Each structure stands twice: as structure tokens, then as C-alpha cells.
Amino acid sequence: MHLSLLMAVSAGLSGAVVGFFLALFGGGGSMMATPLLLYVVGVRDPHVAIGTSAASVALNAATNLIGHWRGGRVLWRCAGLFAGAGLVGSVVGSSIAKAIESQRLLVYFAAAMAVVALLMFRRPAREVGPGAPMTWAVALKLAPLGLLTGLAAGFFGIGGGFLIVPALMAATGMPIANAAACSLVSVALFSATTAANYALSGLVDLPLTGIFVVGGAAGGWLGLRASKLLVARALLARRLFAALVLVMAAYVAWRAMNM
């Protein structure tokens, strides 16, 4: 695909938005990447948009993860178990999605966003301190949730942070700040797996990915600093995140049904 100057600038700015929300919420950005590529940057093929966004989000998530790691917010045993279990699911999900017609896939994408947004308006059942122990009971919750989340992330071509954050909170009771940090491990792994699967079919635009990632690095820098506010405003941040997801879901559904 030929990149015009306008497309390149739009891609950089869109990447900044993705990086900001990815760092701030651990997944909102990955959900916004495909719509931004389609409706702002001007990518015509939804499958190329999905493959390119997955590659971009994988790199942005890995970059943002470093800042959260240095800040001591990543609980590696929980994050590693969840990501490892979801790896198989992301391979299966992305393989299925490539065979589905573009318009139908976007409608499914919007429906999933809306369901998760509505669920996230609820107050979490419980929250414990960031030192919550990894027990067999916690592990037995994390593994199947990771598998299912990986399947959904691969199918919709996103990092899956909007699913990972509430799943981690539900399984371990960790605060949203730690869940957002831990989710980046899975976001990076799931997105990289999905991108590799799409790349095998020629559905990843590498130049566009590079521009998106550069913009995402700048946005991520701002998001990491804003993420410190989540510790004191966890419920407010959660509901703002949910509202953003719901708005994006409505827009994606409207555009998909008018393609």
C-alpha cells in the first residue's frame, strides 16, 4: 500500500493515541488500533488493518511493559501463567478470523467490545494488595481465563487487554494498576502471535507498522505517567475506560453495517 504524507501523519498520531491508552489501561489502545487504521489512516482492507494493528500493538506493549516493570507493578508469576495459557488460544483464534468475511468480523468485534464495556461498569467484587500470593486456587482460575482470553484476542486481532485486566482482577483480586501492568505481558505475546499468523498470509503492512510504533512510543511515555493516577482513582479510571470502549463499539458497529 502506498503511504501518502497525510496517511503517514495520521498513522503517527493514531499510534500516539494507541500507545497512551495502552500504557494507561493496559489494553484500551489495542482495541482502538484497528478502527483508527480503518477510519482515520485510511486502510481499506480490514484484515490488513487487523494484522498491522496487532504488529504495532505488540511492539508498543513490550515498550510500555518496561516502564511498568521498573515501577514494580508487574506481578510476574500471575502475568506469566496467564500469558502462557493464552498463547495457544491466540493461534487458534487468529486462524479462524482470517477465514471470516471482513464486515461480519467487525460486527463481532463491536459486539465483544460492548459486552466487556458494560461488564466493566460494575464495581470489582474484591481488591487486595499488590502482594497477593500465587496459590493453586488462583492458578486454576488464571489458566482457563488466559486460554479463553487468548482465543478472543487472536480472533478479534487485538492484544486483549480490555479482557485481560478484568480477568486478572477477578482471578487474583489485584488492583487495576497492577492488572494493567500485568496485562501488557499478555498483550505483547497475543499481539505478536496474531501478527505473525497474519504476516504469513501477507496481511501486515510493515512501513505503516513502523510509523504507528514510533507514535505509540511517544503516547506510551505520557500514558505511563498518567497511570500513576490509577492507584488513587481505580474505580473512576475503570468506568472511564468502560465508557471509551462503549463509544468505540457503537462507532465500529455503525461503520461495519454501512460498508
pLDDT tens digits, residue range 52-61? 988 988 887 8
**pLDDT computed for residue 209 by the predictor:** 92
Q: Has residue 133 got a pLDDT over 70?
A: no
Nearest of 67, 27, 7, 11 to residue 163 by alpha carbon: 27
How many domains is the chain built from? 1
pTM of the predicted model as reported, rounded to 2 decimal places = 0.78
Helix axes 102-120, 46-70, angle to 10 degrees: 30
Q: pLDDT above 90 covers what percent of the chain?
A: 20
**pLDDT computed for residue 204 by the predictor:** 92
The pLDDT of 44-53, averaged and rounded, is: 89
- Share the mean pLDDT of the chain: 82
Q: How far is CA 117 from CA 19, 78, 143, 241, 244, in A?
A: 20, 23, 23, 8, 8
The pLDDT of 107-124, averaged and rounded, is: 75
Do 158 and 53 form a contact (C-beta atoms < 8 A)?
A: yes
Q: Has residue 27 got a pLDDT over 60?
A: no
State how far the Cα of 217 lies from the Cα of 147, in Å rounded to an integer: 29
- Among 73-87, 151-165, 188-202, which stretch is predicted with the lowest mean pLDDT? 151-165
What domain range includes position 158?
A: 5-256
Q: Has residue 197 got a pLDDT over 70?
A: yes
SS (H, E, C) 214-251: HHHHHHHHHHHHHHHHHHCCHHHHHHHHHHHHHHHHHH
Q: Has residue 163 got a pLDDT over 70?
A: yes
Q: Name the pLDDT band for 65 (thresholds 50, 70, 90).
A: confident
The pLDDT of 19-34, averaged and rounded, is: 72
